[in-house]
Amino acid sequence: MADSIFCFDSSALVKQYIPEPGTQWVRAIVRNYEVVIAEIGIVEVAAALSKRKRMGDLDQETYEDFLEVFLQDVERGYQILVAARDTFNLAVDLTRRHPLRAYDAVQLATALRLAEALKAERLSMTFVSADAQLCTAAEQEGLAVVNPNLLPETL
């Protein structure tokens, strides 16, 4: 896995900041490998943290701390992929083939474009999502997939 790249969707990346099933695995991957996220995932993770605060799972101070660390990681720790028009066109096609929400389709399309680019360089990519439906679609599209929710609690 030395040349492995992990493309995270927001449902998996949020585990880096909020302890949930799969958090230990996510943190180990983030610490040891190159992690790529779709630009739209920045908003999705921020929204997920905000939702957890509104639900009472996070107090104000913890929420602000988690959000600040996440935004710092966006600037320094993750490779951010900006979706071009052809990626959005692919996302539209993906919604025809799979029961995906809009942002999930964009994240999957971004991962598929990345996988295409990496294939020429003979690098492997694993798509990481905690959304079972998105994982199924990604597998059907030919991606290697990990759902951290399905991994053992300890490494």
Residue 28 makes CB contacts below 8 A (sequence gap 6+) with 155
Q: With 0-12 CB in 10 A as exposed, 13-18 as middle and 19+ as buried, what is 116?
A: exposed
Reduce the DSSP state of residue 144 to 3 states and report it: strand
Per-residue pLDDT tens digits for 94-119 = 999 999 999 999 999 999 999 999 98
**What mean pLDDT is predicted for residues 113-137?**
95
Is the pTM value of this prediction over 0.85? yes
Rg (CA), the chain: 15
Whole-number pLDDT of residue 120: 86
Secondary structure E strands in 65-122: 79-81
* Domains observed in the chain: 4-149 (3.40.50.1010)
> What integer best gives the mean pLDDT of the chain?
95
Whole-number pLDDT of residue 1: 47
Closest CA to 13 of 107, 133, 118: 107
**What mean pLDDT is predicted for residues 10-15?**
97
